[in-house]
Amino acid sequence: MLISRTPLRMAVALGLAAMLAVLPVGPASAAIPLTDLGAEPSQLWHSEFDASWPLDSINHVVDRADSSSPELPSTVVLKPGEYLSVGQSATSPNGWYRLTLERDGRLVLRATDDGLGRHGLLWSSGRAASATPLLLMRADGELALYDTANSAFGNAASNPKAAMLWNADTRSELGAVLQLSDDGTLSVATPQGRMLWQSGNRAPDVGLAGSRHIVYDRGKQWVWLVDADGRVADNYTVSGNAESPVPGRYKVTSKSEEAISYNWLLTMEHMVRFTTDVEGAWIGFHSIPRGWRDTPVQTEGQLGDSLSLGCIRQRDDKAERLFDWASIGTPVVVLA
């Protein structure tokens, strides 16, 4: 259960009022809109960098695939309102990967031949007890697997959770499609090409096999939560900063259910700290900050854009998930 936010909101309001009382009065055009005031410092450096972790260059850059490579061809598996029935499948344009809704209720992605002779299971939604599953790309952007034999399925139009077996948690993105790319990535994307979810088989290898860890790709504005067995527990788009924090290896140092910005103007929830700036201000993962009258500084639809001054903003429920999933000491790897 979360701690009540009322005392914290009151403290912020009083602090804001005190600052406004001493500010010089100027023309309205000179006022800084609240949404331009970030929750995090802009110039960041990790003051407690763990030099014992192996690095790939003097610039602390962790090696990964070149993000400037051209976009790979994809098969649009499902458009809004379309579905896969049990036994149906779709393949990537090169034919190397196949997505199938199997008879045991699992949505399964397999490599049929990746060009190197490798075959086998890449990802699965997990076994679901249903003899008549249906994978639906909802018009509201949610990719969900339903049990059509469940009597509650008839209410799924008005209640998306009715008879649901699994979902990709990609709500409120009208026009989103399910696609399968030539590198085996299964994803849900907006009409503009912004990724909302990936199957997880493409999580970057940062050399931490056997350890639960967090990977934050600063360039792609994407986060992976990777379990010790290599399974991707979750992955999603975020809003961070294009130039900070410095790429490298860190670890979770502290957590708090509520936090306040360095300028006392914004509040955020489920803060998971892993580094600091040169002045000692904390940097971490948290929910979308809120300002005056509890107003979010950005929309969920803007996640994926570099809008933060340093911290990593997440959808509220994702912030809570990471907060519960990551313990103190959990490694955090930042990619450029």
Report the share of the chain in percent with pLDDT over 70: 75
196 in any annotated domain: no
At residue 120, the pLDDT reads 72
pLDDT, residue 62, reads: 41
If asked whether residues 40 and 12 sit together in one domain, one would say yes
Q: Are both 239 and 316 inside the same structural domain?
A: yes
Give pLDDT < 50 ranges for the chain.
1-6, 12-70
Same domain, 46 and 94: no
pLDDT reported for residue 191: 87
Residue 195 makes CB contacts below 8 A (sequence gap 6+) with 187, 188, 189, 220, 222, 237, 304
Q: Does 121 reside within a domain?
A: yes
pLDDT on residue 258: 92
Residue 153 maps to a domain: yes
The answer to whether residue 235 is domain-embedded is yes
Q: Within a domain: residue 195?
A: no
Domain encompassing residue 145: 74-183
Same domain membership, residue 305 and residue 281: yes
CATH of residue 129's domain is 2.90.10.10
pLDDT of residue 119: 62
55 and 109 share one domain: no
The half-sphere exposure of 172 on its side-chain side, counting CA atoms within 13 A, is: 6
Q: What is the pLDDT of residue 158?
A: 75
pLDDT digits (tens, 9 = 90+) for 64-117: 433 333 467 888 999 999 999 999 999 999 888 899 998 888 888 888 865 555
User: CATH number for the domain including 298?
Assistant: 2.40.440.10
3-state secondary structure of 304: coil
Across the beta sheet with 133-137, what order do the strands follow? 83-85, 133-137, 143-147, 164-167
Nearest to 312 by CA among 224, 226, 196, 195: 224
Is 144 within 8 Å of 85 (Cβ atoms)? no
- 107 and 52 inside one domain: no
